[in-house]
A and B are shown apart, each in its own frame.
Chain A
């Protein structure tokens, strides 16, 4: 009888916890974006030759969703020429906020030469100064809102490149395969993509355990990529000690069935060290060649 009582109590307590928020390593404690003045931990810091003139950096906000959460956006380039420019939309990874990824955005802004392409980056809900809470659906919703803004500025799908890194590969791949999106990228780049939370769970627990056991967010890039037709560049470090190239990246790339796939397995690179390992100049050349490749 006592065991029955305990069991009932335990069942009544079940489902109290869900671990979705643990998927996001966001920092929402900042009071301002510092960009070049950000001096906390970063993956790399570019030298002064990569500086962007202040008048080519625009920080602004957009209102997202029914709750009108304000998300922060950053555009590198000339907003007045978006209607003729090609834009790289950078979906950053799960760490901190845009300051952490500022160096990466600057590096992208040197693809094909200094500011040949416009670069846009956002802080998803819950990141940096953006309001709200992070979720898989929120990543996509925030990105779509930013794409709507680009559309309103005159950008069209044939001049949009989407680049996702780690967590950011989820909205990038999802939208690349979503024909109903206001903008669908002409080309897709995914650096260190994860296959899904199922694979994360199986890798971490050794046995074949569903990701649903701990999170509602599924991040099923390995399935979403099947809807992508556009040219696809996959970049992954062979020494990625966080998202295994074998169980994550290779599966995503294998499931791509589009018109042109290019795989760059970067020997010796870890999860966050692909650009440094390739070399910044060579990294920019890799992207430029993919973007301009006649297909």
Chain B
């Protein structure tokens, strides 16, 4: 079969379809709208490119250390799949100055929801992210971060009543955010599913680390108001 067909599977819903929504919460009362683009690197027509998955998110700072957010995955939508997520991020430790190398720490919980307009198949996956982040430009609050994104499969059985093979997909991630008063820009890289073989599947992912996992690259831009 054409190996690009299941590239589209990731277009619609896998744990690699979007970057971290928020690593550092917004200020209290602050709102933000974010567009992101990117996905797993795949081989396509002789090139290695990130899948052009897109989503739009809204965030609102409930408190200085607590932000709620919701997103709509626009690429999935164009394929007749309504994919959304909503969640909350909590900052547990504020970062110190760069010189002390003391990172901030935040965790987020996200519910990922999908339903297709064709057969009304409904799925949801809970997601928990944890990130350490370091300010490197205190004046502008720029920061970089290291963390892990965890997705959990709750269905006991997969198609045709077969036992579920995958319960937990985790993706180590690193990113950098350039934070200006009204805008911020983010680039994130994920090591996708290093606990899974990338062999014997239809998708022709780029395989920078051999037979396990893949690499995802994501770009985001946010307008704050």
Contacts and interface: CB of A to CB of B under 8 A. Distances in A.
Interface in A49-99: 93-94
Interface in A6-36: 6-7, 10-11, 13-19, 22-25
B160 A18 contact: no
Contact of A14 (B58, B78, B114, B202): B78
Contacts, number: 163
Which size bracket describes the interface of B in this complex?
A: 35 or more
A196 interface: yes
A196 B160 CA distance: 9
Quick one: which of A10, A23, A201, A212 has the most chain B CB within 10 A? A201
Contacts of A207: 13-15, 123, 125, 151, 153, 166, 169
Interface residues of A, number: 54
B118 A216 contact: yes
A167 B74 CA distance: 31
Interface in A210-235: 210-216, 222-223
Contacts of B153: 207-208
Contacts of B159: 195-196, 198-199, 202, 208, 210-211, 222
B201 interface: yes
A200 B12 CA distance: 13
Interface string B1-34: 1111111111111110000000000000000010
Contact of A200 (B5, B15, B58): B5
B41 interface: no
Contacts of A215: 5
A166 B9 contact: no
B164 interface: yes
Contacts of A247: 162, 165, 200
Contact of B123 (A210, A214, A241, A243): A210
A204 B201 contact: yes
A212 B5 contact: no
Contact of A210 (B10, B116, B196): B116
Contact of A3 (B33, B77, B116, B166): B33
A295 interface: no
Interface of B: 1-15, 33, 56, 58, 72, 74, 76-82, 114, 116-119, 121, 123, 125, 151, 153, 155, 158-160, 162, 164-166, 169, 193, 196, 199-203
20 contacts: A22-B8, A167-B1, A194-B1, A195-B160, A196-B159, A199-B159, A200-B6, A200-B202, A204-B6, A206-B14, A206-B166, A208-B159, A208-B166, A213-B13, A214-B8, A214-B11, A214-B81, A215-B5, A241-B200, A244-B201
Interface of A: 3, 6-7, 10-11, 13-19, 22-25, 93-94, 166-167, 194-196, 198-216, 222-223, 240-247, 251, 255
